[in-house]
Chains A and B, each alone.
Chain A
Amino acid sequence: MNQFIYGLLLFIVLALPPVSNLLESIMIVHMHMQMPLLIIAGFMMGKYLILRSPRFFDKYNNNGVPGILLFSIIMIYWMIPRTMDEALTMQSVQLFKFISLPFLAGVPLRDSWIKLTSVSKNIVITIFTVMFFAMGLLYTLSPEQLCNNYLIVEQITLGWGFITMAICMVIYLVYKAFVNQEDYE
C-alpha cells in the first residue's frame, strides 16, 4: 500500500504542468527521464493493483508474455520521433502518454517480469539492447531533424543516451552469462 502511494505521488508530481513542461523542454530528459519515471510510477502502483485483483492477472497474464508484449509495444511506440512531437503539440497524445506509460507499461511490467523464465528475460533484454542500438544510430546519424520541437544537437544527445543504455545492457548480459551467481551467495 505504501508503494502504491509513493507511485501515485510520483505520478501526480510528474503530471503537474510546470514539472512536465520542464522535463519536456529537453529532448533526452523527455525520453530518458520523464517517460521511465512514468513507467516506474506505474510499476510502483502496480503491486497494489495486482494484489487487489490477482485473479485477473493470473487469468490473462498467466505466463507473463502478454504483459511484457504490451510493455514492449508501449515502449516502442514512444520511441517514434513523431509521438514525442505530438505529445507536445496535441493534448490527446499527451493524455495518452500519461495513461499508457504507467498503466499499460509499468503495471504489466511489474506483473510479468517475475513470471518470466530467465531465458525469456534475457531474450527481452537482448531485443531491447538491439533496439536501443538501432534507435541510437537513428538519432545520432540522421541528417534530418526528426522532431520539429527539438534541435538536431538534442537529437544527437538523445542518440548517445540510447547507445549508452544499450552498452549498459550488454555489460549486464555479459555479466549474467559469465558470472555464476551461486559463487557469491
Chain B
Amino acid sequence: MKKNRQTLWTGVVVIIFGFVLFYVGTDGFRAYTAETARMYKLVEQKPALPNVTLEDSNGRIYPISEFEDKYLFITFMYTTCGTVCPILEMNMGQVYEKIPQKYIGEDVVFLSISFDIEHDDPEALAQYQEHFYQADGETWRMARIVEEQEMEQLLETLGVIVIPDGKGDFAHNSAFYFVDRDGNLMDIMDYTKINEAADRVVNVLNLEKEE
C-alpha cells in the first residue's frame, strides 16, 4: 500500500514535470515551431523599422519615415509570384475593406513591399496593383526598396526570410506586419485570418480615439 502511494506520487511528479517541460518548451503552449517562437520573440522585442527608401508604383521616391505618426499595415511580396502572394494581397484587400473609412489613409496606410528589386520597377508594380481594386496607390501603396542593403536590413528586422531559387522565384514566409506610429513593429499576424487581423487594427485605432 505504501509503495502504491509512492508510485502514485511519482506519477503526479512526472505529470507536473511534463507540464513544466511543455510549458517552457513551447513558450506557454503557444509556439510549437521554431518559426512561431521566433515571431513571438520579435513581437515582444518590438524592433524599430530601419529607415529605408521606397520607390512606389507612381515612381515616387521617399523614405519610409514619411509615414511616421501613421500606423503601417505591411506585406512582403513580389509581382511575378504565382503562389502565395496573390492570396496574401487579396486577403490584405479584405482587411483594407474591413477598416472603417475614416481611418484609412488618415491613421493607417497599407503598404505592399516587393523584395524583387530587380524586376519590380514602378511599371511592374503599377501593373500588379491593377489586380487589386482597393489598391489606390495612396492609402494602399505598392513599392520596392531602392537599395538592396536597406531591403535586407528591413527583412532581417522583421524576420522575413526570402530565398531566391535562381529562376526568378522566391521561397518566403508570409504574414501581415503591423507597425505603430513610432515605426516600431507591433504585431505579426496570420495572413489567412482576415477578421482577426482587421479586428486587431480597428481595436488599436478605436482605443486610441477614446483616449
- The answer to whether B3 and A82 touch across the interface, beta carbons within 8 angstroms, is no
Shortest distance from the beta carbon of B176 to any chain A beta carbon, whole Å: 16
- In the complex, what residues of A have CB within 8 A of residue B36's CB? 82
- In the complex, what residues of B have CB within 8 A of residue A94's CB? none
A-B contact count (CB 8 A): 69
Kindly state the separation between the CA atoms of A62 and B11 in the bound complex, as whole angstroms.
Answer: 11
- In the complex, what residues of B have CB within 8 A of residue A148's CB? 33-35, 161
Give 1 or 0 for each of B19-60: 1 = CB within 8 Å of chain A CB: 001100110000111111100000000000000000000000
- The answer to whether B18 and A80 touch across the interface, beta carbons within 8 angstroms, is no
Shortest distance from the beta carbon of A24 to any chain B beta carbon, whole Å: 14
- Residues of A participating in the B interface, judged by any CB pair closer than 8 Å: 58-63, 65-66, 69-70, 73, 77, 80-83, 85-86, 89, 144-149
- The answer to whether A82 and B11 touch across the interface, beta carbons within 8 angstroms, is no
- The answer to whether A62 and B35 touch across the interface, beta carbons within 8 angstroms, is no
- The answer to whether A80 and B25 touch across the interface, beta carbons within 8 angstroms, is yes
- The answer to whether B4 and A62 touch across the interface, beta carbons within 8 angstroms, is yes
**Which secondary structure dominates where chain A touches chain B?**
helix
Kindly state the separation between the CA atoms of A166 and B22 in the bound complex, as whole angstroms.
Answer: 24
Top 9 closest A-B pairs, CB basis?
A85-B34, A73-B18, A62-B7, A66-B10, A66-B11, A60-B10, A62-B3, A81-B33, A70-B14
Decide yes or no whether B17 CB sits under 8 A from chain A. Answer: yes
- The answer to whether B14 and A85 touch across the interface, beta carbons within 8 angstroms, is no
For this complex, 23 residue pairs linking A to B, each with C-beta atoms less than 8 Å apart, are A58-B3, A59-B6, A59-B7, A60-B6, A62-B6, A66-B7, A66-B11, A66-B13, A66-B14, A70-B18, A77-B25, A80-B25, A80-B26, A81-B32, A81-B33, A82-B25, A82-B33, A82-B34, A82-B36, A83-B25, A144-B35, A146-B35, A148-B161
